């Protein structure tokens, strides 16, 4: 569909360059030449520029607004271009505002105007405004225009007014495929796949949109087999069809089949790459996501906002700060607008890479802050051990008129838990309902149970569990079990551990924690019995690993790992570090951390080859003495590794940041940011 006819005329040479324009910087250069040549006041020239800025893949709706403001008497084509661009923007309500301005200027809308302004009503969930537009359509005699009719059908169906959509659909002829497609899409949007399929089967003239809409409906609801049947039958497959299948397999968590379809595609567009990137990122296969991103760049595919968000998510998961910084530089270099979604993804990446300085800078320049951005920053301070800063930001958030939600309080309670602020945590839990009208969820109670358990207030933690208005879940019991482990309460830990294993019989961590509680109390037979129970039930313990990024490449190590191609040099460096710690730091291995019934010498060896120690040694080999060593672990840091890393930071004057399963540890000058409370 076009935005309306333009009178055929020969283009000025400078305007013909728009056809090959692929970037806003190029557009601005063309615009500068237009101004120099005295063409900027031409209605025709302005309309062409606006059409590019508003609706091209390289659009800048803000620049389109600036050009529009310079046109004294915009044509209906110009109005339509602006309305179309705004209807596809992050704020579609602006398209409705522009439509109102059009009417105030006594410009008459046409059949090209209404599909876009009605689309804006659909996107903005403004069905009541859509009713007024419907009246305008009738007054202008455009109610039978196929595109206007299909837009109205789609708006009513998407807005939950399915009866109104059906009534309009009855007026559509068999030949008006676009109206039939709108009805199918409307039923899909209202989650009525059976009615959508009924319309689809009745269609005499199905086009590629008909097939893709129905197939996409099945895929979005996880009915991948039904989607695959339609895909195989589809005589008009296009790139959208293949993308729908990738998205469907992503929703089902089937990464292998998603990749299979991606590899078999005859032609890929940026959505294909984005879908596969999202699939990897959502499945925590972040290394594969980053490798795919590199392939995408090598194919000269220009990343979009969706690309960048997925890649930042992968960097955050891996703690891949170098690659995250590259993406940030790309955003700056290409002048990508830092909206709330992209800004929050960037914040999340820096927070999860332990680089709070950069996170704060992004937060301060982010103009479009929403509650999620505030929550990300509060959670970042919490997990890095800066409870006071989290509290300050919470107060600032409130003062600036942002209403906290339940995730805000998860972050605040987590900050209290990591800092050991018992009174503050209990006060915040109470204030959620009293001051903000938010009923605490099981996650909030879990944070306070964790706080009480860490502080050794196990009786109070049990009392809180008993008083919860909902059934405590495994996370709440797990928090209490963690407290039992820290404070050596074997009797309570045994009772809680058994309860947890009943709740989650296939969760390896529950067995391991109970076994460790027994082992710490030298109850080796009980520890062995729990591990045998794991084995009998086919529950496998997740191996502990540590990762470190060197020059954009993420290296992963397991305990006692000798698979790395530099293994010999890594172990030599580790031995050198250990010897120096013994002589200069007085290091003695804390063999109590080895919860197996083996000899002292074997325990010392087991401690010496923990995965984070191998990763740190690798960092020594490849990073300069002034560079921060950053490690990401999937398990909690053990006491011996924590002590060793503190010593390394003092003896070698090295700054080391470790992100474990629960929080960050910033080691510097022999001190950890957690203050040994983790």
* Range with the poorest average pLDDT among 135-139, 277-281, 509-513, 621-625: 509-513
Residue 620's pLDDT band (boundaries 50, 70, 90)?
A: very high
Residue 604's pLDDT band (boundaries 50, 70, 90)?
A: low
Checking if the pLDDT of 606 tops 70, the result is no
Residue 22: CB atoms within 10 Å? 11
Q: Which residue matches tokens 């060593």?
A: 629
- Please report whether residue 78 resides in a domain: yes
pLDDT in tens, 19-59: 666 667 777 777 777 777 666 666 677 777 777 777 776 66
**607 and 629 belong to one structural domain:** yes
Domain extent at residue 409: 374-427
Helices (H), 437-473: 442-454, 458-467
Beta-bridged to residue 633, according to DSSP, are 546
**446 and 462 belong to one structural domain:** yes
Q: State the pLDDT at residue 559.
A: 87
> From CA 5, how far away is CA 81, in angstroms rounded?
11
**490 and 573 belong to one structural domain:** no
**581 and 661 belong to one structural domain:** yes
Residue 2's pLDDT band (boundaries 50, 70, 90)?
A: very low
**58 and 124 belong to one structural domain:** yes
Checking if the pLDDT of 598 tops 60, the result is no
User: What percent of the chain is predicted at pLDDT more than 90?
Assistant: 52
**124 and 17 belong to one structural domain:** yes
Distances (CA, A) of 102 to 105, 106, 351: 5, 7, 46
Which pairing describes strands 629-633 and 656-659: parallel, antiparallel, or unpaired?
parallel
pLDDT in tens, 399-432: 999 999 999 999 999 999 988 999 999 999 999 9
Mean pLDDT of 519-541: 88
**385 and 492 belong to one structural domain:** no
**502 and 408 belong to one structural domain:** no
Range with the largest mean pLDDT of 33-42, 553-562, 651-660 = 651-660
- Please report whether residue 45 resides in a domain: yes
The b/e string for 530-553 (b: 16+ C-beta within 10 A; e otherwise) is bbeebeeeebeeeebbbbbbbeee
Mean pLDDT of 109-119: 91
Q: Which residue matches tokens 């925590």?
A: 284
pLDDT in tens, 143-201: 888 889 888 988 888 787 888 888 888 887 777 888 888 889 888 988 889 999 999 99
3 by DSSP, 3-state: which? coil
Residue 109 · residue 102 · CB < 8 Å: yes
Distances (CA, A) of 125 to 83, 96, 370, 665: 17, 12, 20, 45
- Please report whether residue 519 resides in a domain: yes
Which residue, of 75, 110, 143, is where some domain finishes?
Answer: 143
User: What percent of the chain is predicted at pLDDT more than 70?
Assistant: 92
- Please report whether residue 51 resides in a domain: yes
- Please report whether residue 129 resides in a domain: yes
Q: State the pLDDT at residue 426.
A: 95
Question: How many domains, the chain?
Answer: 4
**115 and 56 belong to one structural domain:** yes
Distances (CA, A) of 227 to 178, 197, 275: 21, 12, 17
- Please report whether residue 149 resides in a domain: no
**536 and 454 belong to one structural domain:** yes
Q: What is the CATH number of the domain that holds 532?
A: 1.25.40.10
Residue 256: CB atoms within 10 Å? 7
**54 and 96 belong to one structural domain:** yes
Residue 332 · residue 321 · CB < 8 Å: no
- Please report whether residue 183 resides in a domain: no
Which residue, of 405, 427, 449, is where some domain finishes?
Answer: 427
Which residue, of 500, 518, 542, is where some domain finishes?
Answer: 542
**420 and 448 belong to one structural domain:** no
* Range with the poorest average pLDDT among 50-59, 591-600, 632-641: 591-600
- Please report whether residue 186 resides in a domain: no
Token pair, residue 184, equals 């199918």
Checking if the pLDDT of 463 tops 50, the result is yes
């Amino acid at each position: 569909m076009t935005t309306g006819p333009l009178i055929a005329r020969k283009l000025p040479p400078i305007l013909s360059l728009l056809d090959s324009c692929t970037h806003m910087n190029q557009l601005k250069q063309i615009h500068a030449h237009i101004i120099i040549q005295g063409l900027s006041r031409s209605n025709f020239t302005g309309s062409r520029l606006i059409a590019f800025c508003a609706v091209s893949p390289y659009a800048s709706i803000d620049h389109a607004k600036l050009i529009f403001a310079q046109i004294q008497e915009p044509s209906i084509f110009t109005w339509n271009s602006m309305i179309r661009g705004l209807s596809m923007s992050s704020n579609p309500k602006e398209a409705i505002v522009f439509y109102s301005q059009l009417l105030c200027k006594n410009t008459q809308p046409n059949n090209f105007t209404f599909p876009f302004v009605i689309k804006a009503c659909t996107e903005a969930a403004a069905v009541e405004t859509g009713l007024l537009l419907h009246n305008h359509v009738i007054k202008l005699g455009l109610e039978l225009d196929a595109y206007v009719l299909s837009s109205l059908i789609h708006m009513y169906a998407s807005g939950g007014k399915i009866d109104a959509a059906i009534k309009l659909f009855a007026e559509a002829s068999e030949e008006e495929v676009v109206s039939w497609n709108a009805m199918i899409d409307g039923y899909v949007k209202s989650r009525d796949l059976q009615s959508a399929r009924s319309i689809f089967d009745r269609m005499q003239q199905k086009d590629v949109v008909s097939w893709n809409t129905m197939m996409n409906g099945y895929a979005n609801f996880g009915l991948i087999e039904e989607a695959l049947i339609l895909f195989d039958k589809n005589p008009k497959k296009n790139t959208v069809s293949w993308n729908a299948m990738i998205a469907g397999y992503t929703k089902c968590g089937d990464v292998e089949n998603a990749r299979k379809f991606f590899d078999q595609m005859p032609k890929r567009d940026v959505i294909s790459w984005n879908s596969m990137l999202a699939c990897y990122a959502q499945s925590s296969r972040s290394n594969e996501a980053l490798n795919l991103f590199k392939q995408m760049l090598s194919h000269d595919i220009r990343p979009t906002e969706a690309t960048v968000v997925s890649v930042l998510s992968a960097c955050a998961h891996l703690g891949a700060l170098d690659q995250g910084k590259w993406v940030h530089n790309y955003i700056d270099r290409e002048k990508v607008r830092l909206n709330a979604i992209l800004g929050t993804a960037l914040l999340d990446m820096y927070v999860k890479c332990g680089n709070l300085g950069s996170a704060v800078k992004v937060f301060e320049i982010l103009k479009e802050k929403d509650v999620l951005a505030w929550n990300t920053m509060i959670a970042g301070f919490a997990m890095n051990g800066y409870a006071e800063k989290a509290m300050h930001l919470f107060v600032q958030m409130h003062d600036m008129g942002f209403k906290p939600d339940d995730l805000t309080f998860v972050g605040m309670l987590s900050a209290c838990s990591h800092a050991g602020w018992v009174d503050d945590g209990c006060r915040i839990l109470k204030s959620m309902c009293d001051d903000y009208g938010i009923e605490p969820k099981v996650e909030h109670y879990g944070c306070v149970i964790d706080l009480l358990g860490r502080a050794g207030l196990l009786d109070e933690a049990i009392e809180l569990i008993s008083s919860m208005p909902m059934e405590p879940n495994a996370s709440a019991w797990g928090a209490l079990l963690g407290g039992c482990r820290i404070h050596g309460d074997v009797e309570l830990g045994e009772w809680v551990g058994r309860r947890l294993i009943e709740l989650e019989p296939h969760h390896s961590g529950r067995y391991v924690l109970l076994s460790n509680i027994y082992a710490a109390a030298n109850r080796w037979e009980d520890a062995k019995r729990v591990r045998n129970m794991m084995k009998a039930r086919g529950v496998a313990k997740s191996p502990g690993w540590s990762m470190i990024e060197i020059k954009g490449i993420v290296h992963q190590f397991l305990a006692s790992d000798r698979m790395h191609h530099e293994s010999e040099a890594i172990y030599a460096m580790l031995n050198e570090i250990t010897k120096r710690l013994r002589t200069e730091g007085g290091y003695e291995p804390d063999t109590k951390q080895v919860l197996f019934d083996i000899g002292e010498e074997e325990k010392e060896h087991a401690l010496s080859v923990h995965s984070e120690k191998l990763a740190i040694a690798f960092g020594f080999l490849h990073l300069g003495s002034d560079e921060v060593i950053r490690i990401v672990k999937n398990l909690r840091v053990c006491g011996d590794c924590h002590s060793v890393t503190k010593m390394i930071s003092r003896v070698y004057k090295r700054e080391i940041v470790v992100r474990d399963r629960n929080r960050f540890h910033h080691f510097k000058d022999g001190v950890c940011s957690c203050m040994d409370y983790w």
